[in-house]
Amino acid sequence: MDVNYQYLMKPILNWWQAITELSTNASLTITLWLVITVLLISLLVILTLVRRLKTCKSLLTFSATPTLVLDVKKGSILYSNTAITDIFDQENSNTSHIVAQCCFERLSHLAEQTAITTDVFHIKQLKKTLRFSAVQINYQRRRAWLCQIDHIGTNSSAISPWDVDGQIVNNLFSSNSAFVHIKTLDGLILNCSPSWAAQFGQSVEQVSGHFEHDFYSSSKIEQIKSYEKAVVAGDIQEYEEWNTADDNNILLQTMKYPLYDEHKKIVAILTVSNDLTEVMELNERLLNENGEHLRIEAELSRHNSLLNSVINATPDPVAFMNGDGKYVGANLGYCEVLGVEHADLIGMDRTLLLNQDKKVWLLEQENQLLLDGKSVRYEELLHLADQEPRWYEICKQRYVNHTNGENGILIVYRDLTERKRIEYDLEQAIEKFDELSSVDQLTKIANRRTFDTKLQHYWSTHHREIKQMSLLFCDVDSFKLYNDNYGHPMGDIVLAKIAQVMNDQVHRGADLVARYGGEEFAVILPNTDEEGAIRLANKIIKAVQGLAIEHAYSKAAKHVTLSIGIASMCPEHESSEALLLEHSDKALYMAKENGRNQYCVYAEKGHDQEMAELNFDLLKS
Question: 178 Cβ partners below 8 Å, 6+ apart?
Answer: 193, 195, 272, 273, 274, 275, 314, 315
Write down the pLDDT at residue 167.
Answer: 54
Residue 225 CA, distance from chain mean position? 26
Write down the pLDDT at residue 359.
Answer: 78
CA nearest to 565, candidates 532, 523, 607, 529: 523
Write down the pLDDT at residue 333.
Answer: 81
For 282-335, how does the pLDDT look when each residue is reduced to its tens digit (9 = 90+)?
Answer: 656 655 443 333 333 333 334 345 556 666 667 788 888 888 888 888 888 888
| 244 CB burial (10 A radius; 0-12, 13-18, 19+) | exposed
CA nearest to 195, candidates 222, 165, 172: 172
For 60-78, how does the pLDDT look when each residue is reduced to its tens digit (9 = 90+)?
Answer: 555 667 888 888 888 888 8
> What is Dmax (Cα atoms) for the chain?
181
CA nearest to 390, candidates 399, 380, 377: 380
pLDDT score of 479 more than 80: yes
- Whole-number Å distance between alpha carbons of 167 and 521: 71
**pLDDT confidence band for 466 (50 / 70 / 90):** confident
For 188-234, how does the pLDDT look when each residue is reduced to its tens digit (9 = 90+)?
Answer: 888 888 888 888 888 887 787 788 888 888 888 888 888 888 888 88
- Whole-number Å distance between alpha carbons of 51 and 47: 6
CA distances from 263 to 106, 119, 259, 304, 447 (A): 21, 15, 11, 12, 77
Write down the pLDDT at residue 530.
Answer: 92
Q: Judge contact between 318 and 178, C-beta under 8 A.
A: no
- Whole-number Å distance between alpha carbons of 40 and 16: 13
Mean predicted lDDT score pLDDT of the chain: 77
Lowest mean pLDDT among 71-80, 97-106, 407-416, 612-621: 612-621
* Whether pTM exceeds 0.75: no
Question: 159 Cβ partners below 8 Å, 6+ apart?
Answer: 120, 129, 131, 152, 190, 209
For 607-621, how does the pLDDT look when each residue is reduced to its tens digit (9 = 90+)?
Answer: 444 444 444 444 333
List beta partners, residue 565.
473, 600
- Percentage of the chain with pLDDT > 70? 72
Write down the pLDDT at residue 124.
Answer: 64
- Whole-number Å distance between alpha carbons of 547 and 564: 17
Write down the pLDDT at residue 166.
Answer: 53
Write down the pLDDT at residue 300.
Answer: 34
Q: Which residue has the higher pLDDT, 94 or 279?
A: 94
CA nearest to 581, candidates 455, 431, 494: 455
- Whole-number Å distance between alpha carbons of 541 and 546: 9
List beta partners, residue 244.
249
